Structure 1
Amino acid sequence: MTSVLVLDDDSPPPGLRRALAEAGARVRVHSPADVLTTERMPDVDVLLASAAVPPNIVRAVARRMDEEGRQPTMLAYTEHDFGALEGHVHAGADYLMPPFLTSLVRARLGTCREQAELGRALRLAGGEADLHRYERELEIGREIQLGFLPDSLPTPAGWDIDVRYRPARTVAGDFYDVFELVNRRRLGLVVADVCDKGVGAALFMALIRSLLRHTAENGGVHGLKNVDLPGDARSMPVAGAATLLNAVEATNDYLTRNHVHQGYFATMFFAVLDPVTGGLVYINGGHNPPVLIRGQGGPPLILDPTGPAVGVLRDSTFTLGHAHLDPGDVLFIYTDGVTEARGPERDFFGEDRMLDVLSDGAGSGDDLLRRVDGALTGFVGAAEQSDDITMLALHRTGV
């Protein structure tokens, strides 16, 4: 019996459901979001995706399966949208189209099952030597990846920057960066999370980090005179805003033109700080909202997203957000490895717990990271770290 995972937000067409049943397939239907957030991927022979699901999302599911030792054959199906089906074919998937005849569906599933069984046999025959070689290559990859992270952080007078970075595996999809911009008058800060984990995410981490930094350091150095900032931020200095927009838009354009079929994208928070005034211009591309903790007390301020994730859609619109740090304030930037850390009972640490810790006051950036780290450690206990964790604290000391 061929096992099939149908990737669709709705139920498959009646004709296809009937043909799968008559062909003796064992079928499960899940939405892409449910599959990508599940703790363990299902072991199936065929990944059957609706053409309405973007090819990059299907590839992301397939990669998750591959990392867990599952290599299903990919099929796409449609009733009417043959244009969307073409994108899946270009991405390497086979396909099913109406009429969904039982004999044809049974034959296609049989071929897929044989391919899956052959793949499992080849993996078992790989041997221990291949495992050791793979582990060594991963270690080399880890060393190279660490070279993309800054050895030291440029820190202007009156400011402290502290970081915690813990990959869940040998290589990671998280990254952070801090670098000088606009003739050293501004400071760029980036915290980002490439979708997925493992080797593929690590390669795209290196690519996206290089694209962002190269574009930021080599373009838009004169700033913008008329930038649409919200509310009372319109009168604030915006030198560096052009740098910010150029870097994010150019990176999104490159990824969506050249790598969209590979299914990788990144959420990111990219800010440009004026160390003299404490003004912060930022783009939050689908990332977890950073939290601004006031040194003088009061509720934490959430910096909401200002655009979509980077690398998903061409011609995405990214707008600018603005914040201001007074002496004593700390900006806490993090990836979803913090809020999605799992305890022994498999429940999430969550945003509410994180905000409770942050609400205890700012202190120094290092103190704040220690508190969050301690809360995470106590919550997770002996459970395995499930995702990369990156935290950055920007503290205006005022001295």
Structure 2
Amino acid sequence: MLDLTLVVSEPTTTAASLCRCLEVDGMPARLVSPDEVLQWSAAEDGMPDLLLFNARVDVTVVRAATRRIISTASRPPTVVAFTDDDLTFLEPHVLAGLDYIVPPYLPGQVRSRLLSHHYRQALSRTAEEIQTAGELLKYERELQIGREIQAGFLPDALPERAGWQLTARFHPAREVAGDFYDAFELCGGTRIGLLVADVCDKGVGAALFMALIRTLLRHTAIHLPDGDGTALTEGSHGDAAVLTRAVCATNNYLVANHLQQAYFATLFFGVLDPESGSLVYVNCGHNPPVLRRARGAYRLLGPTGPALGLLPDSVFGLRWVRLHSGDTLFAYTDGLPEARDRAGRFFTTDLMLGLVAARDGGAEDLLDRMEREVSAHIGTAERADDLTMIALRRTPRRENPGGRAARRAA
């Protein structure tokens, strides 16, 4: 049953007749002007189940009034047009897709026709909701498949070397992410490549570029060709060749083939010699990783070149550092310092640096502490950006050395 019907019309004989028919049929009705319905609030004035518009009311007013009531109501009303003997006024309403009734307006007959329109529109809305729900389930399933595929691009386990700890964390803001990290062996296992990157934007598009960039970097670094003057050798020159070739080739490919998509990536890419502790790196516009010394002092490894995919023939500088016993390298994406609480306050770089500089308990302990602190900061707020962290520590001799498996967010 319809609890409240609004007959939207200036006072006319036809409108008054309709109101009487509805009252006789036990359907409460109120005659309101177009101006009144435009100010109607379902919460304050009552929730109408049916809007019965005089066809002389302009279609734009019908749409505006319907939107107004829907915005203040718990459910959409049924909308029907009516007319007197002049059917020409119905044409724009029919073209707009509205149901309608025409004279004669008799008790019983009016009720039957309006209830028919009401149930048909309700059924149509239900069918649309079912279809939308089905499409949403399909979309969610496709996103889940995308997340599983993306997980395959992240390492199942990180390289292990005596005297070193290596661990990582990965928390996508959505089902798929633009962040990624990687760690892999180079030069016959005598080197380890370390990657942390952040593709601009989030979601499916960023995830696709993540997969592309990760594949290009890893493949080019591992399969550096011999005989071109940059063949891999043990020593700093071979390590530099890996970085130079991989980063430049990836950048030039992105600029040549995907510049119109306007995606780019910031990146920290380092090549570690586990034997000596030497690390040669390139920082392509990425958040500066932190090199923490054993006694708590630290330095930031700032950018040495622009982000990947922005400019052709970009120049990427190389830098060298050495990790001594007890030193830790901490790399991350901007989702860490820019994590926000419900009030919009950032986690901040200063807080992050304070945690890195605090008492050292190992690579795993550092990331555990960082996760706890950022989770406590975010609280119940929605995560706005992907968050990726990787920590590399050269263990003091008194500790039990070894690497740790990568840990991904559930």
Query: What's the TM-score once normalised by structure 1's chain length?
Result: 0.64
Return the alpha-carbon distance in structure 2 between the equivalents of residues 282 and 339 of structure 1.
Answer: 22
| Cα drift, residue 344 of structure 1 | 1.6
Q: Which runs of 5+ in 1 are unaligned?
A: 1-122, 226-235
2:147 counterpart of 1:149: no
Q: Which residue of 2 aligns with 1:262?
A: 261
Return the alpha-carbon distance in structure 2 between the equivalents of residues 124 and 221 of structure 1.
Answer: 60
Return the alpha-carbon distance in structure 1 between the equivalents of residues 227 and 352 of structure 2.
Answer: 38
- 1:209 aligned residue (206, 214, 218): 214
Letter in 2 for 1:290: P
State the SS of the aligned residue for 1:308.
coil
Letter in 2 for 1:361: R
Q: Which residue of 2 aligns with 1:87?
A: none
Return the alpha-carbon distance in structure 2 between the equivalents of residues 124 and 273 of structure 1.
Answer: 55
What fraction of aligned residue pairs are identical, expressed as a percent? 55
Letter in 2 for 1:242: A
Letter in 1 for 2:188: N
Return the alpha-carbon distance in structure 2 between the equivalents of residues 220 and 276 of structure 1.
Answer: 24
2:343 counterpart of 1:345: yes
Distance 1:164 1:297, change over 3 A: same
Return the alpha-carbon distance in structure 2 between the equivalents of residues 200 and 342 of structure 1.
Answer: 23
| Cα drift, residue 385 of structure 1 | 1.0
Q: Which residue of 2 aligns with 1:190?
A: 195
Q: Is the 8 A contact 1:222 1:239 kept in 2?
A: no
Q: Which residue of 1 aligns with 2:356?
A: 358
Matches within 5 A, 1:57-68: none
Return the alpha-carbon distance in structure 1 between the equivalents of residues 245 and 223 of structure 2.
Answer: 10
| Cα drift, residue 370 of structure 1 | 1.4
Letter in 2 for 1:148: F
Letter in 2 for 1:343: D
Return the alpha-carbon distance in structure 1 between the equivalents of residues 356 and 177 of structure 2.
Answer: 26
Return the alpha-carbon distance in structure 1 between the equivalents of residues 236 and 336 of structure 2.
Answer: 33
2:362 counterpart of 1:397: no
Compare 123-132 and 257-266 and name the one that shifted more: 123-132
Q: Is the 8 A contact 1:219 1:246 kept in 2?
A: yes
Q: Which residue of 2 aligns with 1:232?
A: none
Q: Is the 8 A contact 2:143 2:176 kept in 1?
A: yes
Letter in 2 for 1:370: D
Q: Is the 8 A contact 2:296 2:358 kept in 1?
A: no
Q: Which runs of 5+ in 2 are unaligned?
A: 1-127, 398-410
Q: Which residue of 2 aligns with 1:332?
A: 330
Letter in 2 for 1:281: V
2:373 counterpart of 1:368: no
Q: Is the 8 A contact 1:291 1:331 kept in 2?
A: yes
State the SS of the aligned residue for 2:252.
helix
Q: Is the 8 A contact 1:220 1:243 kept in 2?
A: no
Q: Which residue of 1 aligns with 2:381?
A: 383
Render the CA deviation track for 1:263-287: whole Å, top value 9, x for unaligned.
1111010000010110100000010
Return the alpha-carbon distance in structure 1 between the equivalents of residues 142 and 311 of structure 2.
Answer: 33
Return the alpha-carbon distance in structure 2 between the equivalents of residues 156 and 222 of structure 1.
Answer: 30
Q: Which residue of 2 aligns with 1:3?
A: none
| Aligned residue pair count | 266
| Cα drift, residue 374 of structure 1 | 1.6
| Cα drift, residue 224 of structure 1 | 8.2
Larger radius of gyration: 2
Return the alpha-carbon distance in structure 2 between the equivalents of residues 140 and 248 of structure 1.
Answer: 29
Q: Which residue of 2 aligns with 1:218?
A: 223
Letter in 2 for 1:174: D
Render the CA deviation track for 1:290-347: whole Å, top value 9, x for unaligned.
001111232x110000000001111111010111100111100000000110012101
Q: Is the 8 A contact 1:182 1:221 kept in 2?
A: no
Letter in 2 for 1:255: L
Q: Which residue of 2 aligns with 1:41?
A: none
Return the alpha-carbon distance in structure 2 between the equivalents of residues 296 and 194 of structure 1.
Answer: 34
Return the alpha-carbon distance in structure 1 between the equivalents of residues 368 and 245 of structure 2.
Answer: 35
2:318 counterpart of 1:320: yes
Q: Is the 8 A contact 2:264 2:309 kept in 1?
A: yes
| Cα drift, residue 363 of structure 1 | 2.5
Return the alpha-carbon distance in structure 1 between the equivalents of residues 228 and 305 of structure 2.
Answer: 20
| Cα drift, residue 126 of structure 1 | 6.9
Q: Which residue of 2 aligns with 1:303?
A: 301
Distance 1:326 1:221, change over 3 A: farther
Q: Which residue of 1 aligns with 2:170?
A: 165
Distance 1:170 1:394, change over 3 A: same
Return the alpha-carbon distance in structure 1 between the equivalents of residues 228 and 273 of structure 2.
Answer: 12
Q: Which residue of 2 aligns with 1:88?
A: none
| Cα drift, residue 203 of structure 1 | 0.6
| Cα drift, residue 221 of structure 1 | 6.9
Distance 1:221 1:151, change over 3 A: farther
Compare 366-375 and 323-332 and name the one that shifted more: 366-375
Return the alpha-carbon distance in structure 2 between the equivalents of residues 281 and 220 of structure 1.
Answer: 20
| Cα drift, residue 179 of structure 1 | 0.5
State the SS of the aligned residue for 1:203.
helix
Return the alpha-carbon distance in structure 2 between the equivalents of residues 360 and 224 of structure 1.
Answer: 44
Q: Is the 8 A contact 2:236 2:280 kept in 1?
A: no
Letter in 1 for 2:255: T
Return the alpha-carbon distance in structure 1 between the equivalents of residues 265 and 129 of structure 2.
Answer: 33
Letter in 1 for 2:204: V
Render the CA deviation track for 1:199-229: whole Å, top value 9, x for unaligned.
011111110000000000011679989xxxx
State the SS of the aligned residue for 1:338.
coil
Return the alpha-carbon distance in structure 2 between the equivalents of residues 131 and 195 of structure 1.
Answer: 26
Letter in 2 for 1:388: D
Letter in 1 for 2:353: L
